[in-house]
């Protein structure tokens, strides 16, 4: 799917900005708005420079109201635009939940296909940045549970660009959750030209034989650190980057477990009723006879994410991942 | 008009009195005899259909239904001023506007019988399905109006909500966004005095709803919602205001829900017979009819005949809806995504296997 060969070093902020730039240039129906996304370019500068380039009618600051932002996007989308809206932090999306669940996710079904809502809802999410309350949660499972939405989480600048292009081009509403902890922490070569990565497809980051680990977002890097320890202990890990929470790539997960017989899912969200629980059920259904150990969920607790001084208790660390890898392999 | 009827003064804009006599010549809209006859017939059709549907519900032939009884002039006036390319973003008590926009009664019946197919409005342009979560649709109207402005289209967005809906955050966000963006939308609040059982006095300390426009920097007006002429004149004025680039408008249409909230509701629990009767003399059809008869544009005899025809037509469409094909399993799945995800395909196949098994058991 890679289009051009010209590469540029980008962090995730650059990569998302670049994808938005490409799509804004390509399709006049795309508009970008939200709180502080225009003049300031967003609190994380993801939309920096876009208003200057595409004008205040297509890239602009909206009044401060999440339900208002998503609700108007539903109307715009019905009328033929392709709005890309930003929730400043995922912790503030909840006033918009009604518009997302009751309308964005339902309009096609309600109108029997007459209207669709190609809306992209971007939101920085996740912990590990020493933030105030409501700035550290990982609530992707809530969106995964809403019928009619697609939910996407990139873990690298490269994937962020390719997935964002697909998400904007999707005719469904896509929740695009950006792991803000690694917005600027990872830099890599990303093609300058447009390319896309299909939604609903996981990627096998590294091949292994002893255990499968599924992760996404900022947790991927933590798993990779744990894998260094695992390798030293002689354990071969197959790492899967889930990339799409929904549609979820059952086959890639199940096929990997058929080979390794063991699986750990690592997330920074609460443990119960989450993506890790769903993956456990998928392997139970699709790879039951291959299992040599109980599928394990390595996640946050079913608690509120503590404020910065307590957050280390909650956040999944490479040590903890390695500890669980060893236990599962020795089961 | 907006200067003369400032919401803050709590003045009700009305044109005819309870007996259909023009009391406000200054603002009397210039409407042809044919226009008025058609408007009255449309309102009458809506009323006949509405009362008939309540009967069907009592007979167990249709599910829960929210009657329009007593509020026909608001939708009637909106229906006669809306153009084909204008947008209608409705709530659920605007049957006249639905029909004027091109929905068929059969479609409405299908919806209340439990088919999403009734929300397609195949013959209508720019018409959103009914939105059930109160006031949430107003934001869609503002968003659509943004597109209209961005693409420089000649369209107006008409959106409806009730008095209870003005307490919802989405009402305030929608009106505020519309004002901030200066987009072509008319917010029509049908103040029918009750949100189910809760009286308007409980919803807000504001003396009226139109006054809420003041805070959002847009024009608003409190209109006699049972007066077809006043509603028409208010809409006409709002359309001209918007076309001059002066921004969105909030119209409070003061009316009375003569029926129940829905067929599951019992209004005798929360309002008196005296109150209901006091609104009878303000009935919107009665007032327009009195005007038409005084101008010799209508007669009771014509009305009787028409009601018989209308009842037949309502019944014809109802029976058609009753004979609609069974709801296929495919329709549960196929509109969820632009392309059905593998997981959903599997769920459907699994269920079909069960259905096959069930068939064999018989």
Q: What phi and psi values does residue A206 have, to the nearest 5 degrees? A: -145, 145
Residues written for chain A: 331
N- to C-terminal Cα separation, chain A:
40
Test B144 with A78 for CB contact under 8 angstroms.
yes
Residues written for chain B: 362
B-chain CB neighbours of A68 within 8 Å are 139, 142, 170, 173-174, 176-177
A253-293: per-residue pLDDT in tens?
999 999 999 999 999 999 999 999 999 999 999 999 999 99
Test A247 with B117 for CB contact under 8 angstroms.
no
Q: Is the pLDDT of residue A1 over 70?
A: no
Tell me: cis bond preceding A247? Omega within 30 of 0 counts.
yes
Test B170 with A68 for CB contact under 8 angstroms.
yes
Residue A296: CA count within 13 A, CB half-sphere: 23
Q: Is the pLDDT of residue A176 over 60?
A: yes
The whole-angstrom distance between B206's CA and the closest CA on chain A is 23
Distances (CA, A) of B96 to A5, B40, B287: 60, 11, 17
Task: Please say whether the beta carbons of B252 and B210 come within 8 A.
Answer: yes
Looking at every residue in chain A, the average pLDDT score rounds to: 97
Residue B47 CA to its chain's centroid (Å) = 13
Token pair belonging to A139: 């609530």
Contacts of residue B304, Cβ cutoff 8 Å, sequence gap at least 6:
none
In chain A, the DSSP E strands lie at: 7-10, 30-34, 59-61, 82-86, 120-125, 149-152, 173-179, 188-191, 203-206, 211-215, 237-241, 244-246, 263-266, 296-298
Task: Please say whether the beta carbons of A11 and A181 come within 8 A.
Answer: no
* Residue of A71, A149, A171 to mutate, interface with B, max B Cβ within 10 Å: A71
Q: What pLDDT, on the 0 to 100 scale, is given for residue B146?
A: 98
A-chain CB neighbours of B169 within 8 Å are 65, 67, 95
Edge-first strand order for the sheet with A30-34 is: A59-61, A30-34, A82-86, A120-125, A173-179, A149-152, A244-246
Task: State the count of interchain CB pairs (< 8 A) between A and B.
Answer: 134
Task: Please say whether the beta carbons of B128 and A115 come within 8 A.
Answer: yes
A48-77: per-residue pLDDT in tens?
999 999 999 999 999 999 999 999 999 999
Q: Which of A58, A63, A114 faces B176 most closely, judged by CB atoms? A: A63
Q: Which residues of B are catalytic?
A: 257, 261, 270
Chain A residue at shortest CA distance from B89: A75
Q: In the structure, what pLDDT confidence band is assigned to residue A4 with cuts at 50, 70 and 90?
A: low
Token pair belonging to B238: 């709002």
The whole-angstrom distance between A246's CA and the closest CA on chain B is 9
Task: Please say whether the beta carbons of A283 and A295 come within 8 A.
Answer: yes
pTM listed for this prediction: 0.96
Q: What pLDDT, on the 0 to 100 scale, is given for residue B314?
A: 97
Chain A residue at shortest CA distance from B125: A114
Give the closest residue to B67 by CA, choosing from B213, B256, B224.
B256
Q: Which of A102, A103, A110 faces B116 most closely, judged by CB atoms? A: A110
Q: In the structure, what pLDDT confidence band is assigned to residue A5 with cuts at 50, 70 and 90?
A: confident
Q: Which of A72, A76, A247 faces B342 most closely, judged by CB atoms? A: A247
Task: Please say whether the beta carbons of A52 and A22 come within 8 A.
Answer: no
A90-105: per-residue pLDDT in tens?
999 999 999 999 999 9
Give residue ranges of B with CB < 8 Å to any A CB: 87, 89, 116-117, 119-121, 128-129, 131-133, 136, 138-148, 150, 169-170, 173-174, 176-177, 180, 331, 334-338, 341-343
Test A72 with B146 for CB contact under 8 angstroms.
yes
Test B120 with A114 for CB contact under 8 angstroms.
yes
The whole-angstrom distance between A91's CA and the closest CA on chain B is 19
A105-115: per-residue pLDDT in tens?
999 999 999 99
Q: What pLDDT, on the 0 to 100 scale, is given for residue A156?
A: 98
Q: What pLDDT, on the 0 to 100 scale, is given for residue B362?
A: 81
| CA trace torsion B271, B277, B279, B281 (10° rounding) | 180
Test A79 with B143 for CB contact under 8 angstroms.
yes
Q: Which of B143, B338, B343 faces A71 most closely, judged by CB atoms? A: B143
Chain B residue at shortest CA distance from A65: B173
Q: In the structure, what pLDDT confidence band is assigned to residue A177 with cuts at 50, 70 and 90?
A: very high
Average pLDDT over residues A22-44: 97
Can you list the residues of chain B whose pLDDT is less than 50? none
Q: Is the pLDDT of residue A2 over 80?
A: no
Q: What pLDDT, on the 0 to 100 scale, is given for residue B246?
A: 96
Residue A91 CA to its chain's centroid (Å) = 15
Test B128 with A111 for CB contact under 8 angstroms.
yes
Q: Which of A79, A98, A116 faces B147 most closely, judged by CB atoms? A: A79
A134-168: per-residue pLDDT in tens?
999 999 999 999 999 999 999 999 999 999 999 99
Test B140 with A68 for CB contact under 8 angstroms.
no
Euclidean distance between CA atoms B252 and B264, whole angstroms: 27
């Amino acid at each position: 799917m890679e289009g051009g060969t010209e590469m540029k070093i980008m962090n995730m902020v650059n990569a998302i900005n670049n994808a938005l730039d490409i799509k804004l240039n390509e399709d006049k129906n795309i508009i970008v708005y939200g709180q502080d996304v225009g003049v300031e370019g967003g609190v994380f500068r993801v939309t920096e420079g876009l208003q200057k380039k595409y004008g205040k009618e297509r890239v602009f600051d909206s009044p401060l109201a999440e339900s208002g932002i998503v609700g108007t996007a539903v109307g715009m989308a019905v009328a033929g635009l392709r709005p890309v809206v930003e929730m400043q932090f995922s912790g503030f999306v909840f006033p918009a939940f009604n518009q997302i669940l009751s309308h964005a996710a339902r309009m096609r079904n309600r109108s029997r296909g007459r209207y669709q809502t190609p809306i992209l809802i971007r939101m920085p999410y996740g912990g590990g940045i020493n933030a105030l309350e409501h700035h550290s949660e990982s609530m992707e499972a809530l969106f995964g549970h809403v019928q009619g939405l697609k939910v996407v989480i990139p873990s690298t600048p490269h994937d962020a660009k390719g997935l964002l292009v697909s998400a904007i081009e999707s005719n469904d509403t896509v929740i695009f959750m950006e792991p803000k902890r690694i917005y600027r922490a990872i830099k890599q070569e990303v093609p300058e030209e447009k390319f896309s990565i299909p939604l609903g497809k996981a990627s096998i980051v590294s091949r292994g034989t002893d255990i499968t680990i599924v992760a996404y977002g900022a947790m991927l890097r933590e798993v990779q650190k744990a894998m260094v320890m695992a390798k030293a202990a002689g354990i071969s890990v197959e790492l899967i980057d889930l990339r799409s929470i929904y549609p979820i790539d059952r086959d890639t997960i199940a096929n990997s477990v058929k080979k390794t017989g063991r699986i750990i899912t690592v997330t920074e969200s609460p443990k119960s009723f989450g993506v890790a629980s769903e993956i456990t059920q998928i392997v139970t259904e699709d790879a039951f006879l291959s299992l040599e150990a109980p599928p394990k969920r390595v996640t946050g607790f079913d608690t509120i994410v503590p404020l910065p001084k307590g957050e280390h208790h909650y956040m999944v660390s490479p040590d903890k991942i390695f500890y669980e890898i060893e236990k599962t392999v020795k089961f | 008009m907006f200067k003369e009827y400032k919401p803050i003064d709590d003045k009700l804009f009305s044109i005819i009195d309870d007996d259909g006599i023009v009391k406000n010549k200054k603002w009397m809209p210039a409407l042809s005899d044919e226009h008025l006859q058609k408007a009255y017939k449309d309102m009458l059709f809506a009323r006949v259909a509405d009362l008939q549907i309540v009967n069907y519900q009592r007979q167990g032939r249709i599910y829960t239904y929210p009657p329009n009884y007593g509020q026909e002039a608001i939708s009637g006036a909106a229906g006669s001023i809306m153009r084909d390319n204008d947008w209608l973003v409705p709530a659920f008590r605007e049957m006249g506007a639905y029909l004027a926009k091109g929905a068929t009664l059969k479609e409405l019946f299908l919806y209340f019988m439990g088919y999403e197919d009734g929300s397609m409005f195949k013959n209508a342009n720019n018409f959103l399905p009914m939105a059930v979560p109160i006031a949430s649709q107003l934001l869609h109207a503002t968003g659509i109006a943004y597109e209209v402005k961005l693409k420089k289209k000649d369209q107006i967005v008409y959106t409806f909500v009730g008095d209870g809906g003005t307490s919802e955050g989405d009402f305030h966000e929608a009106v505020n966004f519309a004002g901030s963006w200066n987009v072509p939308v008319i917010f029509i609040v049908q103040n029918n005095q009750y949100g189910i059982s809760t009286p308007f006095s409980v919803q807000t300390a504001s003396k009226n709803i139109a006054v809420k426009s003041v805070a959002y920097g847009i024009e608003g007006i409190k209109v006699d919602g049972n007066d077809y002429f006043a509603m028409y004149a208010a809409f006409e004025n709002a359309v001209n205001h918007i076309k001059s680039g002066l921004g969105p408008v909030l119209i409070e249409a003061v009316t009375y829900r003569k029926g129940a909230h829905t067929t599951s509701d019992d209004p005798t629990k929360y309002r008196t017979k005296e109150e209901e009767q006091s609104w009878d003399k303000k009935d919107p059809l009665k007032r327009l009819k009195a005007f038409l008869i005084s101008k010799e544009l209508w007669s009771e005899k014509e009305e009787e005949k028409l009601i018989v025809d209308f009842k037949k037509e309502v019944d014809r469409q109802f029976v058609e809806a009753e004979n609609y094909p069974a709801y296929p399993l495919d329709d549960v799945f196929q509109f969820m995504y632009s392309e059905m995800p593998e997981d959903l395909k599997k769920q459907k196949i699994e269920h079909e296997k069960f259905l096959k098994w069930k068939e064999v058991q018989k």
